[in-house]
Chain A
């Protein structure tokens, strides 16, 4: 089995407002990708690109408008309200909000064990919890009976990972797991993903806007823009030689922590803030430096260029080889 999870043509349209008025927003549009076993796959993009909505659909927190989610070869049906949570677990952006501030953190561990019947008695439960906590560099003693505000953001995020490990999942969905964790502690989380992959054979769906950690940790990456995947391939290919004009722009704008490599050139922001939910054509056409007439007319197809998927007319039209 080379696909642990596959997402096919996933589309989510939100309807806002009351009966008399509907606004339709396409959060994800025909998104397809797959994750292999023991792989770290990154879904990257700016805010509002649809990456979190994709994660929510995979977790069953949102119902897709169209498309299929296939886990271990099994199609997800609508009836399973909260889907195979044993096989798939998740951690979220805000470590301080992950646990109820009025309850001790260990309650969630015991509840997980109880609800999924993972241990017969308290003693085996504590052993199980301690084992999972050790895997993230903590221990039962320094955690039992404490409230969330007694931990730092980095610790909470690791506790959150330990909780998700209780059910021995095969896939961990991590939605912006380090964006609210201090830079000096980020690596302790990101390195954990590598450890989960290498030691437990787990896969991680890493959702982030931070391309530097994405490069560091992941195997393959998909860049999303306004609900579409515009480029997908290995991180070496996508981030070191970006092909899509959007990826190139994104890559150029990242402030690198190296004073010798400062930003060169200028960006024109007035251009970037134009309405980009065009009815037809490529959504990046409004500010693409390589824009052609066809870009404004037709949605580009997914083109394979050296094993990299690129959604750009410049490649299909042969403008760039």
Chain B
């Protein structure tokens, strides 16, 4: 509770917290949706916003309000799968490279550097072109997870590298701790905030790529996501025909989501980063 109160002092955290709560509530409405967002022309097409259709309907005869709710949910699923699964690559790679050092470190860092250096977008496109029919939410998430771990692994590895040089590593070894104990008990408390902050970044990155791939028509287009909503609005010329509400809904939703995720990441990592926090307190006390 105290943590939350402290965090709420940061305007960025407060804003992102509120936006995310609203977006989550909105997306959870999709579980009670009266319509199926994949069925075309069940209702009148191209209706402007009204009390019956809060955000109007699109040219396919789908209610925009409800497909927005599904879109957020589905985009978040992609992001969560990509974010969480990539942690299972990031953390072991970072721990191994940072702690073992030497040849292990060099090989692992070469691989992750290669991932950073190569224009991943093109490789993902290449893959997506080949498997586009099978690119469901979870597959897309998994695909992105395979590519979204390298930067974070680098960040966490350099943290481990500096932790390894700290005195308490030697104290732990002299206390009889093995490598696993060292990693979990000594290093995890330092690494957790980083893992969390980078997780949010990867999620935002995944949502952005989902949108881009969808606009290029490279994922399953009948699943409502933020990206596919934009895709359909564009392919039905929604701007030229004055159906702004159709295009604006997914665009505004995604902008809100990006800002909220980014601010959450920045504010919470600033708060959680034990180094900066301890330094701040420590420095002021030593005076």
Contact = CB atoms under 8 A, between A and B. Distances in A.
Interface of A: 59, 61, 82, 85, 89-90, 92-94, 97-103, 107-108, 111-112, 114-116, 149, 160, 163-164
Given A59-B174, A82-B174, A102-B189, 12 more contacts: A59-B170, A85-B173, A85-B174, A98-B167, A99-B171, A100-B186, A102-B190, A103-B189, A111-B176, A111-B185, A149-B282, A160-B171
Given A94-B167, A99-B168, A101-B274, A164 B190 contact: no
A108 B171 contact: yes
Nearest to A93: B167
B174 A111 contact: no
9 contacts: A82-B174, A98-B167, A100-B172, A102-B274, A103-B189, A108-B171, A111-B176, A111-B181, A115-B176
B177 A115 contact: yes
Given A61-B170, A94-B167, A108 B175 contact: yes
B278 A101 contact: yes
A99 B167 CA distance: 7
A102 B186 CA distance: 8
Contacts of B186: 100, 103
B9 interface: no
A61 B172 CA distance: 13
Given A101-B274, A103-B189, A115 B175 contact: yes
A98 B172 CA distance: 9
Contacts of B167: 92-94, 97-99
A318 B168 CA distance: 50
A149 B274 CA distance: 13
Given A61-B170, A90-B170, A100 B189 contact: yes
Contacts of A59: 170, 174
A152 to B, nearest CB: 11
Q: What are the 4 A-B residue pairs with the smallest beta carbon separation, nearest first?
A: A115-B176, A97-B167, A112-B175, A102-B189
A94 B190 CA distance: 19
Nearest to B171: A98
Contacts, number: 63
B189 A97 contact: no
A125 to B, nearest CB: 13
Contact of A85 (B168, B176, B274): B176
B185 A103 contact: yes
Contact of B168 (A82, A93, A100): A100
B172 A108 contact: yes
B166 interface: yes
B168 A112 contact: no
Interface centre among B168, B174, B175 (most CB of A within 10 A): B174
A59 B190 CA distance: 26
A89 to B, nearest CB: 6
A82 B179 CA distance: 11
A20 to B, nearest CB: 13
Contacts of B181: 111
Nearest to A107: B185
Contact of A149 (B168, B175, B176, B278): B278
Contacts of B281: 149
Interface string B147-167: 000000000000000000011
A59 B174 CA distance: 9
A111 B274 CA distance: 23
Contacts of A149: 278, 281-282
Contact of A90 (B172, B174, B274): B174
Contacts of A102: 189-190, 274
Contacts of B168: 97-100
Given A61-B170, A100-B168, A163-B171, A116 B176 contact: yes
Contacts of A92: 167, 170-171
Contacts of B176: 85, 111-112, 114-116
Given A97-B166, A97-B167, A97-B168, A111 B278 contact: no
A164 B171 CA distance: 9
A314 to B, nearest CB: 40
Nearest to B167: A97
Interface string B171-204: 1111111000100011001100000000000000
A151 to B, nearest CB: 13
A94 B170 CA distance: 12
Interface centre among A94, A102, A115, A164 (most CB of B within 10 A): A102
A89 B170 CA distance: 11
Nearest to B169: A100
Contacts of A116: 176
Contacts of B185: 103, 107, 111
Nearest to A100: B168
Nearest to A148: B168
B186 to A, nearest CB: 6
